[in-house]
């Protein structure tokens, strides 16, 4: 038994997941703390610069990209598992706390909420220049000339997309890790290993998963792998939001039709689900480095996007997060998982 002071793995997994959720809600990711994503990102950047210095042929860069993805995801998961296991050997309570902190670092619920509030605050004062400046910290599009409705659309699109990438995707894989711990007897640290492995995949996609000439070969595998790893939690998110909207068939049908037109196999679905549930329209014209790009229109413009719409989207994410978490904890507590 690897459990916490005589308790079985189901109980330990419940405590890790519950404590991680509380830590993210109360603390989030303070700027003064070194975050695992920062460390992962630093190693990715170092590897990326090394590959560029080689000036290798496209085929070689593609294989180096495969090596980058597998080594970063596997290495991150292995290191997280080792840290959790070592901390547990020192003391079970220490192991519980350390693993909960590592899992909490994968959840971006508090960070997403704070980022939205950071932009909405100057917007409430009608300080558009400051709102544009703050928005530029969180989005890749040009913000210099956005008006109030476009700023609100950008914030809502960021909340909708990152609900999967930064909140519910990591939770899904943390729950997979908890299930594997109970079913297959994986030891302490497994929940953090799986969750941080997914976080590494997400970070890889955000850093090298582009189609420009410098990243196309190096990042192709990372981009496709992240798409596959996010596919199921994204569809589960859409299904959950569809049920909460009380018009599940309509929401799901529109996501299949309109969300599928987005170049990303996942972000279009999640944005469409939020748009349909909230009665607003997302997508349209954006500018990136001087170039205009058009995203498919998602949802129906039944009402304008307001700050309260953004807060409602955050509330939807919170309800889905708690629903998944409580459902998994219920299965563990009731003994449906041995």
Question: What residues of the chain score a pLDDT lower than 50?
Answer: 1-4, 6, 337-338
Model confidence pLDDT, tens digit, residues 209-267: 988 888 999 999 999 999 999 999 999 999 999 999 999 999 999 999 998 899 889 99
26-42: per-residue pLDDT in tens?
Answer: 988 776 677 899 999 99
What digits encode the pLDDT tens for the residues 84-95?
999 999 999 999
pLDDT at 1: 44
DSSP H or E segment with residue 166: none
DSSP letters spanning 43-98: HHHHHHHHHHHHT--HHHHHHHHHHHHHHHHHHHHHHHHHHHHHHHHH-HHHHHHH
Q: Please give the Cα distance from 118 to 4 (Å, whole number).
A: 40
Residue 29 confidence (pLDDT): 77
Report H helices in the chain: 9-26, 36-54, 58-90, 92-104, 109-124, 128-135, 148-162, 169-184, 190-208, 216-244, 248-257, 267-278, 307-334
pTM: 0.93
Task: Give the model's pLDDT for residue 290.
Answer: 80
């Amino acid at each position: 038994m690897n459990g916490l002071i005589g308790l079985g793995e189901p109980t330990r997994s419940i405590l890790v997941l519950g404590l991680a959720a509380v830590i993210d809600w109360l603390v989030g990711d303070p700027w003064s703390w070194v975050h695992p994503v920062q460390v992962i990102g630093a190693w990715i950047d170092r590897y990326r610069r090394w590959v560029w210095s080689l000036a290798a042929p496209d085929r070689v860069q593609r294989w180096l990209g495969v090596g980058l993805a597998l080594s970063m995801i596997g290495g991150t998961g292995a290191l997280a598992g080792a840290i959790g296991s070592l901390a547990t050997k020192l003391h079970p309570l220490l192991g519980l706390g350390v693993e909960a902190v590592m899992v909490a670092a994968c959840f971006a619920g508090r960070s997403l909420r704070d980022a939205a509030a950071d932009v909405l605050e100057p917007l409430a004062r009608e300080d558009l220049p400051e709102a544009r400046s703050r928005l530029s910290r969180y989005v890749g599009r040009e913000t210099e000339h956005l008006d109030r409705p476009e700023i609100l659309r950008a914030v809502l699109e960021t909340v909708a997309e990152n609900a999967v990438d930064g909140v519910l995707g990591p939770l899904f894989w943390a729950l997979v890790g908890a299930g594997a711990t109970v079913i297959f007897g994986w030891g302490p640290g497994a929940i953090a290993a799986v969750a941080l492995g997914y976080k590494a995949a997400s970070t890889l996609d955000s850093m090298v998963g582009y189609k420009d000439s410098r990243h196309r070969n190096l990042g192709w595998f990372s981009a496709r792998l992240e798409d596959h790893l996010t596919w199921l939690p994204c569809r589960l998110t859409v299904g959950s939001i569809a049920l909460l909207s009380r018009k599940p068939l309509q929401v799901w049908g529109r996501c299949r039709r309109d969300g599928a037109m987005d170049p990303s196999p996942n972000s279009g679905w999640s944005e469409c689900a939020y748009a349909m549930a909230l009665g607003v329209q997302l997508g349209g014209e954006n500018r990136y480095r001087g170039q205009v790009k058009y995203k498919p229109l998602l949802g129906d413009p039944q009402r304008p996007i307001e700050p309260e719409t953004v807060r409602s989207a955050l509330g939807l994410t919170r309800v889905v997060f708690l629903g998944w978490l409580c459902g998994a904890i219920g299965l563990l507590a009731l003994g449906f998982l041995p």
